[in-house]
Amino acid sequence: MIIIDIETCTGCEKCLKVCPVDALEMEDGVAKLIEELCISCSACVTACPVDAIEPELKAQRADFSEYNGVWVFAEQHEGKLKATGPQLLGKGRELADELGEELCAVLLGHDVKGLADELGSYGAEKVYVVEDKSLKGYTTEAYTTALTTLISRYKPSVFIYGATHLGRDLAPSVAGHVGLGLTADCTGLSIKEIEGQKVLLQTRPAFGGNVMADIVCPNTRPQMATVRPHVMEPMEPEPGRDYELIEEKVKIDPDSISTEILEVLEAEDKGVLPVEEADRIVSGGRGVGNCQEDFELLRELAEELDAAVGCSRPIVEEDIMPKCHQVGQSGKTVSPDLYIVCGVSGAVQHRVGIRGAKRIIAINKNSDAPIFDMADLGIVGDLREIIPLLVERLRKKKSE
């Protein structure tokens, strides 16, 4: 909700033009709020040239009986679903079952309705689709308006997003506009009963990964969180599974969008398998070396295994590899079947990113390196001797 200072309002009507739900009208030459229509998106607050409108921020431990449904934001890029949607639907199913609520996916874009079947196959009971030209490429304003409008219309109790580049921008923007809390980068979600209320328990690393913090938002709805890619497992897809498609129209004022997409550039290292999507990763740290050439050794091993190449943070800081390869707390969370980690000491900030790896093989010349504490197989020795032997063995095996 917002508050209008009628003494300051000049009656310029700019707020009326940007309101996506027509919740403002003119009365006696000043703006007036139609409370039942307001979705608290704050578009009018930003548009007012004389600061006559302010958001009314108050915690509402209100009656949440109207709020129902676990929603998952299904991110798509150029008409292809990102992996986070199905992954979050997998966890969303558990949460919805515990709450006794429905599981829904939300899809935004232009000409994307065809992806709804896939979301249905991953367990969504309802798929809300908003198609609009202004949603073709991502802009914070257009996507925020679409989601705040849907939240106001349908009142979900939980809304989760992937902590992708897009999700990390969108979720806080939605939370800010609707006056909600948001827990970023969760590694666990569950339902807990607190004071007779079933709430979303949002777990994430805190204090540099040394403790896991459980966070709840008991006073606002929906309870919102972002979850790192690959932390949750998708359900086995069931093509043809029944679901309800709900097509929604949302008024998005082109003038409210402050960015224009001029060109979409390909990601760094195009053609290289991203670590967060890889089944196998060969990862290197400071022990591998301090220049590009030193890492050739690692790339050779990765090539023999069809693996992606990962690294620790110092390797990015020293410009040896782009940031998209970094694994760990401030990099990517990975969950490959096999993680071969070479010349990485195993600081907690690295280890927190590889908890989901099914099998870890560590190579380090220091037998006390902490990485061995979580390795399934540890090889103590010089990686410059061990990796060439592994490459040779793999090549020999392939030629047999």
Are 96 and 70 a contacting pair, CB within 8 Å? yes
**Rounded least distance, CB 387 to ligand FAD, Å:** 9
Contacts of residue 249, defined as CB under 8 A and 6 or more positions apart, other chains included, come to 130, 132
**Would you say 79 or 388 has its CB closer to ligand FAD?**
388
- Say how far apart CA 357 and CA 335 lie, in whole Å: 4
**Rounded least distance, CB 322 to ligand FAD, Å:** 14
Are 84 and 121 a contacting pair, CB within 8 Å? no
**Would you say 52 or 354 has its CB closer to ligand FAD?**
354
**Would you say 3 or 377 has its CB closer to ligand FAD?**
377
Q: Which residue has the tokens 């093509």?
A: 239
**Rounded least distance, CB 186 to ligand FAD, Å:** 17
For 399, phi then psi, to 5°, come to -80, -10
**Would you say 24 or 363 has its CB closer to ligand FAD?**
363
Contact footprint for ligand FAD (CB under 6 A)? 208, 285-287, 312-314, 326-331, 343-345, 347, 349-350, 353, 363-366, 369, 382-384
Which residue type occupies 345?
S
The alpha carbon of residue 249 and the mean position of all alpha carbons in its chain are separated, in whole angstroms, by: 24
**Would you say 3 or 213 has its CB closer to ligand FAD?**
213
Q: Is 313 left (phi over 0), alpha (psi -120 to 50) or beta?
A: alpha
Please report how many Cα atoms fall inside a 13 Å half-sphere around the Cα of residue 292, on the Cβ side.
3
**Rounded least distance, CB 349 to ligand FAD, Å:** 4
**Rounded least distance, CB 377 to ligand FAD, Å:** 15
**Rounded least distance, CB 270 to ligand FAD, Å:** 23
Q: How many CB atoms lie within 10 A of CB 264?
A: 9
**CA proximity to 14, closest of 3, 6, 26, 2:** 26
- Say how far apart CA 283 and CA 270 lie, in whole Å: 18
**Would you say 200 or 281 has its CB closer to ligand FAD?**
281
**CA proximity to 371, closest of 391, 395, 356, 352:** 352
**Would you say 66 or 385 has its CB closer to ligand FAD?**
385
**Rounded least distance, CB 315 to ligand FAD, Å:** 6
